[in-house]
Structure 1
Amino acid sequence: MTKKEQFELEYVLRTSPKVLDKLLSTPDGLSEWFAEDVIVKDDMYTFHWDGSEEQARLISKKAGEHIKWQWLNDEEDELETYFEMKYTIDPMTKVVILTVSDFAEKTEKDEIVRLWESQIGDLRRVIGA
């Protein structure tokens, strides 16, 4: 098994943490930009894209700060991986800084980064920023 390495991406968004909370942590919000459909049962999130389905367990969430999941496939393989979206407000500019943390194998990192860039582009369209 190839080792996955952590990476972080940072985005500046012109929105409020309250709007971001809804878009990052609710099924309705996530299905506006992250996946076609999102079903949440307890701490299990099921994401649907183009006929495929992936499940992730919610690890932690704090309104106005972050949300963190682990893909079930990684959990079953006992990998210490997760994907997290943290957000803070820049005190000077009042913009929201969204930091995405994720893991990828070296050979897949460029593809995963492009996927996040596309997803965040969709998020920007939803918030109008």
Structure 2
Amino acid sequence: MSKQKFTLEYPVRCSPTILYEFLATSNGLGEWFAETVDERDGKFYFGWNGSVEEAEVLEKEEESFIRFRWVGAPKDEYFEFRIDKSEITNQTILVITDFAEKKDIKDQSQLWDYQVKDLFHRLGN
């Protein structure tokens, strides 16, 4: 069964420059995404509860987006953090794209909500 792509959007009260640091650096990601984060040779190593997951950076653009793929995941599956601006309100929007089985999208979305809440706390939102 193939996974489905889903997207979540979160309005953020901070500059794209600051937000990008939290999305694309090991120090920033270590503040909210995982217990430990190391970066070596274009790969990120995310640690939770003693286990480590490895992800490679597929693409990135400073202050715009970063796309990761878990090592071992299908080539067309990734997770991405994108920074958009609302044309109407000029507010910064964090757009997260991920993949999950259809039955797991709700749970995966709730996990992202929890993670982003931690990110917002770190950002002072």
Deviations 1:62-89 (A, max 9, x none): 1111000001120xxx341000011122
**Corresponding residue to 1:102 among 87, 98, 103:** 98
Q: 1:64 matched to which residue of 2?
A: 63
Flag structure 1 segments of 5+ consecutive residues without an equivalent. none
The TM-score with structure 1 as length reference comes to: 0.91
CA pair 91-110 structure 1, distance change in 2 beyond 3 A? closer
| Deviation beyond 4 Å, 4+ runs, structure 1 | none
Matched, 1:86 2:82: yes
Q: Which shifted more, 47-56 or 27-36?
A: 47-56
User: What is the rounded CA distance, in whole Å, between the counterparts of 1:108 and 1:90 in structure 2?
Assistant: 29
Aligned residue-pair number: 125
Overall identity of the aligned pairs, in %: 37
Flag structure 2 segments of 5+ consecutive residues without an equivalent. none
Matched, 1:47 2:61: no
User: What is the rounded CA distance, in whole Å, between the counterparts of 1:80 and 1:96 in structure 2?
Assistant: 27
Q: Please report the RMSD computed on the Cα atoms of aligned residues, expressed in angstroms.
A: 1.2
The TM-score with structure 2 as length reference comes to: 0.94
